[in-house]
Amino acid sequence: MQFSLKNKFIAITGCGNGIGRAASIMLAKQGATVIGIDKDKKSINKLKLKLKKNLIVKHIDCTNYEEVSSKLSNVLKIDGLVNCAGIVPQGNIIDCDYEEWEHSINTNLSSVFIMTKYFIPTFLKQKKGSIVNISSVASSIKGVPRRFAYSVTKAGIIGLTKSIAVDFAKKGIRCNAICPGTVDTPTWRKRVLNSKNPKQSRKDFNSRQIIGRVGKPEEISDLVAFLLSDRSSFVTGSIYNIDGGMSL
């Protein structure tokens, strides 16, 4: 699919692995210059070897506002922002201590606030910008067992998305969210391997999607590119499930 992101500068958090990495490769393929943000130096450097001049490496912890504002201060033109960095804390409310709660909120939700707040003034100056937030089916869409803190943060992202969409619709800024089902990424594989019975765990994860398998990171990328492109100019405040039917 062609979305023409030629000459566009797109910032993406969590670009080093999984969904963020696949989206970065797709955005570069569509002609964008990707401003790749990740706290994992090794994986972002690996992506640089692949994308070469199409990737500007930003080794940043996106939960830290000072770090974000100092290391991104030389980014003067920005057309889009993808908030993808995240973690998957597991367990119910009894398993979740305050430290884990705070870490989950910081990583999955405050990072989206920080990045969006940082780039909104530039989008306003340009009278244009598109924000794509990666939420999850485990959110306000569906209750998923043992995803307490995670689901809270991902529901928060949906609220943040709609709020930004209504506040800035008339200023040329669009904001949408994507809610994936289970996707085969490095952290998901680790989760399977660390489970008591990896074979059963993989089977269980596959059957959560009614199409009977988990998704590939590349299956999320087309929608990211569409929402960043001018082809989606009438789309804002929308929440898209890409979940193999998990939410049904």
Ligand X SMILES: NC(=O)c1ccc[n+]([C@@H]2O[C@H](COP(=O)([O-])OP(=O)(O)OC[C@H]3O[C@@H](n4cnc5c(N)ncnc54)[C@H](O)[C@@H]3O)[C@@H](O)[C@H]2O)c1
Give catalytic residues, as residue numbers: 150
Residue type, 21: R
Residue 7 CB, shortest distance to ligand X, in Å, is 26
Task: Give the other-Cβ count within 10 Å of 29's Cβ.
Answer: 15
* DSSP label of 77: -
Question: Rounded CA gap, 184 and 244, in Å?
Answer: 13
Residue type, 19: I
- For residue 90, give the 3-state DSSP assignment: coil
Residue 221 CA, distance from chain mean position: 10
Structure tokens at 196: 């008591």
Could you tell me where the beta strands, DSSP code E, fall in the chain?
Answer: 9-13, 33-38, 55-59, 80-83, 129-134, 173-180, 239-242
Q: Which one, 63 or 236, has the nearer CB to ligand X?
A: 63
Q: Which one, 7 or 92, has the nearer CB to ligand X?
A: 92
Residue 83 CB, shortest distance to ligand X, in Å, is 8
* DSSP label of 98: H
Q: Which one, 129 or 156, has the nearer CB to ligand X?
A: 156
Query: 163 has which bridge partners?
Result: none
Residue 180 CB, shortest distance to ligand X, in Å, is 4
Binding site for ligand X (CB under 6 A): 13-14, 16-20, 37-40, 43, 61-63, 84-88, 107, 111, 134, 136, 180, 182-183, 185-188
Q: Which one, 61 or 79, has the nearer CB to ligand X?
A: 61
Q: Which one, 33 or 182, has the nearer CB to ligand X?
A: 182
Burial of 220 (0-12, 13-18, 19+ CB in 10 A): buried
Residue 168 CB, shortest distance to ligand X, in Å, is 22
Residue 84 CB, shortest distance to ligand X, in Å, is 5
Residue type, 67: E
